[in-house]
Structure 1
Amino acid sequence: MEIKPLLQLGGSGLPSHPMAVGVTVLRTWAPSWPPRSDSHFSGPCHSNAQREGYVGEKRKSVWASRSAGTGTVPLVHLAIIHCVPAVALCCINQLPREVLEIQNDLFQTPLHLAVYLEQPSVIQALIHKGVNPGLQDHNGNTPLHLACEQQHLRCAQQLLQCTAPTEGTAQPHGHHQDLQLQNWQGLACLHISTLKGNIPMMSLLLESGANINVREGTSGKTPLHLAVECHNHRAVQFLLRNGAYVDAQMYNGCTPLHLAVGRKDAAIAAILSHSGADTLLRNMENETAQDLADGNDDLLALLPFDDLKISGKPVVCSE
């Protein structure tokens, strides 16, 4: 896997061997901390707050590596990138939560990197430490968005299991995993997993409380609309079985059936029709799905005549 895009380190002066990264930084900075005496605070002007501030800054500096042109890079980022979980777990154990939420130049936290590089044990440790799983990178992606994009099911399970509240308690670490949160493309996690056609990931998200009818931010498509656009029969059937609203409308009024007919996908149009799709709904251009069939006999056979009804119900063609 290409590591450079993940973190622009420049000339850090660190050794290339993964374990040597941790050893070098620890040997270089760790001996200077903690201070052997209280001489730093011997004067009367040093309050408890000043002491705590000094301690906090020293702890940060001990666990950070300075790289040319990019400022201070916490060691935990390096340990994750170089796939040295032992060093990463040591950092997580020693560092305060605020340091573990530091974002790099791409606004990635250690949690983003651990998901990208598929390190479930590191993810678990970070979540248990109380880091915020909802921080977004430069694309607006949370770690869970990345897990869906990379199709890392184990990572998603760690993110969701560790942040799920237990019975009779509040959120375990003070952070709520917002499953409807959108990235800068307007996509929630369920949209991404639907576009990937990843049924196990979709199932996990729904079990964790994701809204099956969540609309993406650009045109108002639900996951069902996206599954239809991808011609993914399995995803369409899965969503319908789990309660997706078959007549959900985009901002332009189009239903999933409009999209299926417009793409001349008779198989998916049949699935939607048999699931009770309203074939007479009109979009903002005043078109029904029948109007979009445009003389296609296979599609027209699935759609009712809008001028013939029995007991108020449209008559559907059948062979």
Structure 2
Amino acid sequence: MASDDCRKDDLLEDNRTDSGIDSYRSILKSEEPREPSADFSGPRDKFPTVEERLDSAYGSSSITVESLSEIVVDCTLSSGQEEQTHQSSELTEQEENLLTTITEDGDTILHLAIIHEDKFIAQQLIQLFPKEVLDIQNNLYQSPLHLATYLNLTDVVKGLVEKGACLELQDQEGNTALHVACQHGQTECANEMTREVSPSKLAPVLEIQNWRGLACLHLAALNRQHQIMKLLVKKGADLNIQEGTSGKTALHLAAELHDITSVKLLLSRGANVDAAMFNGCTPLHLAVGRQDAAIANLLCQSGADTMLRNMEDETALDLADGNDDILALFPFDDIQISGRSVVSVKF
């Protein structure tokens, strides 16, 4: 019987060191998101750092693309024979045990197929596996959807989402697969994860914060992913959601990064120009503090309140530090009572 060929020994060898991924360093040439300040701490201790995995499944692996193909073909043929014989498409117990075997690194055969970037085999496995298996997370808490997104395998992402893969699973950094897409600029993957998903199902995904307190919109803003920002806003992302460490909105982050394109995008979509951080600072405070006259001007034109004070009792004007371009944006204090202007005109 063809299923007899589907043996665990074909998949795993004793003391194998194949991991499937070397913390993505050998697969991806990615950078950490650029952060404007030290407000964001590193990953929380909820998921301790896993030892670096020993290889990337490309050279020393006991699982090759050919062996993956043989396993899947054998099991697919077996399933067909079972269907003809028993009028059932269910896998035999032996096949199901093999296909759901977990390696020492927590990977299923689907994880490994994705790591090998074999889209055909991955799609075959997606069809073979029940939904519950699609959501198995490895030792780094990565689901197959996380891996497919990291590797920008759009068709695999589409197949997983269509089969019902969970969008809310978080990896060891607290990132969902959509977080990953926002961080690394995988626009098409983000499209597939949001295309056919109902607003009620997508809303909680857009609100999830990773262990640094960042929602998807924050990561997109930090990495200047303007197309993904537009997509998230279109799909109902909260423009004014605050990150968890200092209360910054995406508009605060864009102002810190001197990213006028993001500032314009967010303001045009209705972001709160006077949103306050936990310390009371508005985007205008941050723009003026960074001597960015262009963004400060844009914020003022959008109705920013120049008299708002932070917890240090500072207005944005107090942070201008003699910058004439920025000072010209503020009203001339003709009469003051208790330090506040009661009659003012614009320069």
TM-score range with shorter-chain normalisation?
0.7 to 0.9
Gaps of 5+ in 1: 37-54, 166-170
Q: 1:63 aligns with which of 76, 99, 116?
A: 99
* Contact 2:72–2:124, Cα closer than 8 Å, also in 1: no
> Offset of 1:119 from its aligned partner?
1.2
User: Alignment partner of 1:163: what SS?
Assistant: coil
Equivalence for 2:254: 227
Structure 1 consecutive aligned stretches of length 4 or more whose deviation exceeds 3 Å? 6-13, 24-36, 55-60, 64-67, 174-177, 305-309
Paired AA for residue 61 in structure 1:
N
- Of 122, 135, 139, the residue aligned with 2:169 is 135
The residue matched to 1:315 in structure 2 has which SS?
strand
Q: Distance in 1 between matches of 2:204 and 2:92?
A: 28
Equivalent-residue separation in structure 1 for 2:206 and 2:342 (angstroms):
39
Moved more, 197-206 or 122-131: 122-131
In 2, distance between residues paired with 1:32 and 1:8? 34
For 2:202 and 2:264, the matched residues in 1 are separated by: 33
Q: Indicate how the Cα distance of structure 1 residues 149 and 175 shifts in structure 2: closer, same or farther if over 3 A, else same.
A: closer
Q: Identity of aligned pairs, percent?
A: 47
Alignment TM-score, normalising by the size of structure 1 = 0.81
The amino acid across from 1:86 in the alignment is F
Cα shift readout 1:98-120 (whole Å, capped 9, x = no counterpart): 11111011100000011111112
Kept after mapping to 1: 8 A contact 2:194/2:202: no
Moved more, 180-189 or 293-302: 293-302
Other-structure match for 1:317: 346
**8 A contact 1:115–1:152 mirrored in 2:** yes
Report if the CA contact (8 A) 2:203-2:236 is conserved: no
Alignment CA distance shift 1:84-1:186 (3 Å): same
Q: In angstroms, what is the RMSD of aligned CA positions?
A: 2.9
Aligned partner of 1:50 in structure 2 is none
Match of 1:251 in 2: 278
Q: Which residue of 1 aligns with 2:222?
A: 195
Residues 170-209 of structure 1: pairs in structure 2 closer than 5 A: 178-209=205-236
Give how far 1:214 is off. Answer: 0.7
> Which whole-Å deviations, capped at 9, do the CAs of 1:123-174 have from their partners, x for residues lacking one?
1111121121110000000000000011011000000013235xxxxx6xx7
Measured in 2, the distance between the counterparts of 1:176 and 1:198 equals 20
Which of these residues, 316, 323, 326, is aligned with residue 289 of structure 1? 316
Equivalence map 1:8-157=2 (5 Å): 8=53, 14-16=62-64, 18=65, 20-26=66-72, 58-64=94-100, 67=103, 69-70=104-105, 73-157=107-191
Query: Aligned in 2, Cα 1:315/1:57: closer, same or farther, shift over 3 Å?
Result: farther
1:155-206 deviations in whole A, cap 9, x for unaligned?
00000013235xxxxx6xx776521111111111111111111221110000
Residue 175 to residue 188, structure 1, CA distance change in 2 (3 Å): closer
Which one has more relative contact order, counting CA pairs under 8 Å at least 6 apart?
Answer: 2
Paired with 1:21 and 1:177, the residues of 2 have a C-alpha distance of 39
Alignment check: 8 A CA contact 1:30 1:62 kept: no
2:300 to 267, 273, 284: 273
Take 2:225 and 2:345, find their aligned partners in 1: how far apart are those partners?
Answer: 34
- Following superposition, the deviation at residue 317 of structure 1 comes to 3.4
Residue of structure 2 in register with 1:214 after alignment: 241
Q: Does the CA-based 8 Å contact 2:75-2:95 persist in structure 1?
A: no
Q: Deviations over 1:37-82 (max 9, x none)?
A: xxxxxxxxxxxxxxxxxx7964542214564x436x3111111110
Structure 2: gaps spanning 5 or more residues:
1-19, 25-51, 83-90
Q: Please give the alpha-carbon distance, in whole angstroms, between the structure 1 residues aligned to 2:54 and 2:73.
A: 20
The two structures have a TM-score, normalised by structure 2, of 0.75
Moved more, 118-127 or 245-254: 118-127
What is the identity, as a one-letter code, of the residue corresponding to 1:250?
M
Question: Matched residues in 2 for 1:316 and 1:25: separation?
Answer: 78
Structure 2 letter corresponding to 1:112 = H
In the alignment, which residue of structure 2 is the partner of 1:168?
A: none
